[in-house]
Structure 1
Amino acid sequence: SCATPHSNILIHHTNKTMFMPEDTIEYTCLEGYKTANNTPTGTTRCGINGEWSPTPQCLAIECEMLTLPNGNFSPKKGRYRNGEVVKFTCASKYVRVGSASAQCYHFGWFPSPPVCKVNARGCGPPPEITNGSIAGDPVEQYQHGDSVQYECNIEFKLVGSKEIECVDGQWSSSPSCIEDKMPCGSPSSIPNVVLRQEDHAQFSHGDEVICGCKRGSGNSKEMKIKCLNGEWKPLPLCADPSPQCVPPLTVELVDNGRLSKPKKETRSHGVIRYRCRSGGRTVKQATCVSGKWSPEIECTAEESTCPPPPQVPGAQEITIGRNYKNGSKITFSCLESFQLIGANEITCIEGKWQSPPYCVERSCLPPQPIECADVPRLENQNFKSKKEGKTIYLAGARFKYVSRSGYILDGPSEITCSKGNWTSAPTCMEMPCGSIPKVANTQIEGRNKEIYEPGETIRYQCDAGFLIVGPPEIICREGNWTAPPFCE
């Protein structure tokens, strides 16, 4: 028998501590480790000698050291562990084109290192998007590193990063504006808002309501708001006028296109225009509501931001934005023929993303037998596993059919598990028959041939003076003739 493998392997689907020969188990490695063939799960089988085959292994995930001509990166190491982040800088008189940092994952570095160029090209006007427009006034020419923000028409919802950047003559991916018709919660849950009509826990997309502010917390006039894609627009600003807002140190205030002196505080409902000190020339706007900025000011120190999130093989592509501050979350979903293994959401924590999930091709149930072949033989035992007590086969598992005597297979004899289904199985064909059996003192009806197709018949006739014994006809079946008669 085989004992439970080493403790750094997590065994799934069984609580057993002792295994008999031919028992198969599936295991996964702890975060930061991978199986020997770089897959999310490994499979091993107990052999008759009491040892697991192949030997379960969990290897530390490591990335090679990077290179950056005309630039530098830190920290510098020979090898990097899973999750480590490297930051890039370019030499004097060189411009960085690409991400400012990269992270080590089980599949390598993401994103790729930037390029340090003497000159980076500018961009023309940013692309237009359907049902949306650029916030502010666009210009004809932008420099490398400039960014612009999009906003959707009032009835549409923005999907993707609202901000795009000019990178060496090309704009990063634009967002899209969709109508998803999500319902809205009650407006009475918004601070200091009072509904002037019948309240409900939920309102449908397109519903309009009349509301106002509590006494002493803003405009006393009634206002009409509409539920659009899960949000109330325009959002009623009802707040206690006493709390004030302080602009964070990460921003520079802008007035009529020029930098203005920092304000100690801004009164409620006061509006500021600002840009981030950390880079970029986009001028944004925020309103002070109940002591908080709306929308929230998104200028975080570069040290605490995460690199662009990873693109997981087999998953839906992620629209990458510019800055991912501490606490930002990214959700993954796999393509139709893949299955998600691990948590579908990762969070940016202190400049690093949590380990992303895997997308693996869907597994297959045992293949169906075919009439003329023996039970198919599994060509690669490592792709066999157990799930909820049932045997399953992972993507890449191969079975080979072996035909029984008298039959041949039409089509490939091997089938492979791919995207949750087996490739086409072969069909059965009876073998043809060769020359007919010779019987003394007989003649056959018809023409004599070298090959006879399955199902063909031959009729014997005895010579004069002889009597036939047995059925006069023989049939070609499974490559052989049925027993012939004789003449006496």
Structure 2
Amino acid sequence: MYFFFLIFFFIKESCLVPDLHHGHYSTTQRILKLNETVMYECDEGYHTRGGNTIEKAVCRTYGWSLTPNCTSMLLSLCVTLLPIRVGSNKYLGVSSSLNSLGFGTHVPCLASAAWLRVNPSIIKLTCFLLSEIEHGNFYPRKKSYEEGDVVQFLCQKNYSLNGSDLIQCYDFGWYPEPPICEDRRNKCPPPPQPPNANILTDLRTYHNGAKVHLACQLNFTMRGSEEIQCENGKWTSPPSCIEAKEKIPCDQPPPIEKGTAITEDKMYYTGDTIRYSCDHGYRINGSNEITCKMGKWTSPPKCIETRETCPSPPAIKNGASFGPLLTNYTTGSSVKYRCHRYHILEGPETVHCVQGKWTAQPTCLEPCTLNVDDVSNNNIEMKWRLEGELFFLHGETIDFVCKQGYYLSSSSRQSQLTVQCTHGKIIYPTCIMKEKCGSPPIIKNGDVIDPRLTEYESDSSVEYTCFDHHFLQGSNRINHVSFLWSFDDKSYFFHGEYIEFLCKENHYGAPSTSVFDFRIQCSRGQLTYPRCVERGR
């Protein structure tokens, strides 16, 4: 008989954190989701595969990017007991291995435990060959499997996997265990749910012999067994829930050791609930509430002695805790926190377990990354030239200067060019283009005191004087504001004062006007405005 398999590649959605010898993890989680990262630190005298004390591993679709492992600086191998694998895909004999490494051809393993020191980077760990799976197959098939290899299992028609379809080779062997293919006829569909009943047992798959417990809803009584069983792919007959026609009272709630029922002076019927509290030094184990159901109380809780322990230390953003990783910590225990690279620790480095709670944990303040686009768009550049991607720690200051041809606005202070990195954010200063004016306006019977220039910088001003036998009406000084000359930036003028006008950009004086028509005198509160026309019309 021939079987044909269609191979599908499934994306692995989680990774199991392997046991770590001679080191510890930054988290107590045992399963991480796809693309999540785990940090680990090796004990003194051991290092990661990359030769570091601290390393990280990422959960990928094929397993861990690099399986966490802490190895002695010099791995001890007894030459008479352990062959060495060097580079190629075959095992070398002990003597030839030693000869290829320059150790000669004979190094005995003495009774006094003489050991050969070999660098662990030359040793490749392998997993045992996989056995054939009955009613199924696996892929890929190789003569040997090295650490990191992933194998997928599939079953024949009418068979289904019991276990994980993907397993990976780790330094400690295959994980998880290879699955088996089971006949689907040995499984049952989801259990039947009678009207007004609840299923109390929830399983992913139901094999022969699996049992499910059911319970009736309030004001319903059960007729039949509260338990059904999977037999040869079918469920035994389920019970039925019959509505109760009269209220059935419950007795007084049952007492519990080291605790008290909080009751009222009344009768309790189906649906009524009461709560329990424990004596000092004890706590509730389970729900603190029981319910009256058809004349009987549900099972009461127990009061157990309080042990002041803390759970796993809380995780912090951009950092991790280091120390012995336990599921519970006794009062007085402590762990330390460290921040990721370029992050600043704010708060206590060490937190303590006190009366079942951890003291306040620190925070890791984010660094700032200089954004070249923001720098360019704000017309600034760094005062000190630095190379590479620029990071600034929280609290550090950055000095900027305006680009050539730009300056700070008159309302800004020079100190605004020095900014501080705050929680990963930089508020960039803004420089504006230096504005220039042409020559100041010509006035009749007068001129500027200083020699005229073709261009004037922003914030410049000029002073006028009249020719002999003439006197000045209006301000004797005009200022450069927004590309234009302005007479003291006034919005009103007195009778007899003169106002100088200019045409807007892309406009010019009407053909019937002259230069002098743009110098208007205020007369009895009235102004005769000159006329400008758009170019091209």
Q: TM-score, normalised by structure 1?
A: 0.26
Q: TM-score, normalised by structure 2?
A: 0.24
Q: Which has the higher contact order (CA 8 A, sep 6+)?
A: 1
Larger radius of gyration between Structure 1 and Structure 2: 2
